[in-house]
């Protein structure tokens, strides 16, 4: 898939033509990763954050929310629940929280691995090299860090950097790969100021980085954030990528076509835009993963990165059953085991 083709699909509006994109993405998904849908149990372990990302509802400047950090005991209980529900992976996600100390996280990873044997994915932001090394040694398998947009100016406008700590997520992604993590990244779709050209760059970047996991979702304005309050102007309609459900499916489908072997979730942000069919349509247009929420309900409501997040009122068990039911109705099955990225022999690096 070359760049003009990517751009053409991003701008395509005719449902009959888009059917071709959906069926190409679905065929590539089936051929490369099969009919299994892997379940990754998401535990939002802390909503403390030192960053001021202009779009994110748990950024440090948002004073109106109660902050929490789960205990190791609570996180372990969630991991055991993941085993009971048949998930192969637990994802530990948080704001960028220095209160999640290197040794404590390493210990937690070791205990989860020992007690449950689950694959462990970390999504804890831009952390020190020593942290990433220690957590890999403790047994962490994967790391998620979205680059959010490949346009450096737009990136800088929505990610005020910490004094003395320039942010280079591409360098971090390379480092994570060198350390032996399976590496995931992705972008938000429809950020004010995001052009079609820059979204095409993002999609080409997925392929260039040879990502193991690609997570994309619509940008959803949070009224308590600078961006949600209108901090950046929208571009003229011809240029501005809309933060719609349709645009999200296009990016899921194109991600599958440029990175056929990667694991791609139908994200909660997508389910937030279309609660009844969002995940199913994502799974039918390139995705092969879903991330049921395991966070205890009393914390779940406090992890409000955007408003109206799907599944905030449900329990872990309800989401587990709901998703399995949805997967079966699609004629697919729940993947067994960790569901790591498989590389075909021809795709192995020389």
Give contact residues for ligand 5AD (rule: CB under 6 A).
55-56, 146, 148, 188, 217, 219-220, 222, 269, 305-306
277-282 CB contacts, 8 Å cutoff, 24+ apart:
278/245, 278/310, 279/323, 279/326, 280/326, 280/329, 280/330, 281/245, 281/249, 282/248, 282/249, 282/252
The CA distance from 294 to 83, in Å, is: 11
In angstroms, the CA 184 to CA 215 distance is 7
Question: Which does residue 188 bind out of ligand FES, ligand 5AD, none, counting CB within 5 to 8 angstroms by kind?
Answer: ligand 5AD
Among 201, 204, 261, 314, binds ligand FES (CB under 6 A): 314
Shortest Å distance, C-beta 311 to ligand FES: 3
Q: Which is nearer to ligand 5AD, 57 or 320 (CB)?
A: 57
Which of ligand 5AD, ligand FES, none has residue 327 at its interface (CB below 5 to 8 Å by kind)?
none
Binds 322: which of ligand 5AD, ligand FES, none (CB < 5-8 Å by kind): ligand FES
Q: Which is nearer to ligand FES, 282 or 292 (CB)?
A: 292
Nearer to ligand FES, 207 or 322 (CB): 322
State the alpha helices, DSSP H only, in the chain. 3-11, 15-33, 72-84, 102-116, 129-137, 152-158, 169-179, 196-208, 245-258, 268-273, 278-284, 297-300, 316-329
Q: What is the C-alpha to C-alpha distance for residues 217 and 245, in angstroms, rounded to an integer? A: 9
Stretch binding ligand FES (CB under 6 A), from 27-35, 58-66, 197-205, 317-325: 317-325
- Measuring CA to CA, which residue among 196, 197, 199, 174 is closest to residue 188? 199
Q: Which option in ligand FES, ligand 5AD, none does residue 314 bind, with CB closer than 5 to 8 A by kind?
A: ligand FES
Q: Which of 78, 92, 154, 311 binds ligand FES (CB under 6 A)?
A: 311
CB under 5 to 8 A by kind: which of ligand FES, ligand 5AD, none does 33 bind? Answer: none
Residues 6+ apart with CB under 8 A from 55: 158, 188, 191, 219, 221, 222, 225, 227, 228, 306
Among 52, 167, 318, 340, binds ligand FES (CB under 6 A): 318
Binding site for ligand FES (CB under 6 A): 292, 311, 314, 318-319, 322-323
């Amino acid at each position: 898939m070359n760049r003009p083709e990517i751009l053409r699909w991003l701008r395509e509006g005719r449902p009959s033509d888009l059917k071709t994109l959906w069926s190409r993405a679905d065929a590539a998904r089936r051929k490369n990763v099969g009919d299994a849908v892997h379940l990754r149990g998401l535990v939002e372990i802390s909503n403390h954050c030192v960053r001021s990302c202009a779009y994110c509802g748990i950024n440090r400047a948002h004073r109106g929310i109660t902050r929490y950090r789960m205990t190791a005991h609570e996180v372990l209980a969630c991991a055991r629940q993941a085993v009971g529900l048949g998930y192969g992976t637990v994802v530990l996600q948080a704001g960028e929280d220095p209160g999640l100390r290197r040794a404590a996280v390493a210990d937690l990873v070791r205990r989860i691995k020992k007690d449950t044997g689950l694959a462990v994915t970390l999504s804890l932001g831009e952390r020190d090299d020593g942290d990433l090394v220690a957590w890999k040694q403790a047994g962490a398998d994967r790391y998620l860090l979205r680059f959010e947009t490949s346009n450096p100016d737009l990136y800088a406008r929505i990610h005020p950097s910490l004094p003395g700590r320039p942010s280079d997520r591409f360098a971090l992604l390379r480092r994570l790969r060198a350390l032996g993590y399976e590496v995931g990244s992705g972008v938000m779709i429809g950020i004010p100021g995001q052009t079609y050209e820059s979204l095409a760059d993002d999609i080409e970047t997925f392929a260039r980085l040879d990502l193991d996991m690609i997570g994309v979702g619509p940008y959803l304005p949070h009224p308590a954030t600078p961006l949600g309050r209108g901090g950046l102007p929208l571009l003229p309609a011809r240029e501005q990528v809309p933060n719609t459900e349709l645009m999200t499916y296009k990016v899921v489908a194109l991600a599958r076509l440029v990175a056929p072997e990667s694991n791609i979730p139908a994200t909660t942000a997508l389910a937030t835009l279309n609660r009844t069919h969002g995940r199913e349509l994502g799974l039918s247009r390139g995705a092969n993963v879903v991330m049921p929420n395991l966070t205890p309900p009393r914390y779940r409501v406090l992890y409000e990165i955007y408003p109206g997040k799907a599944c905030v009122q449900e329990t872990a068990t309800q989401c587990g059953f709901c998703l399995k039911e949805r997967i079966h109705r699609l004629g697919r099955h729940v993947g067994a085991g960790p569901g790591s990225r498989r590389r075909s022999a021809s795709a192995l690096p020389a």
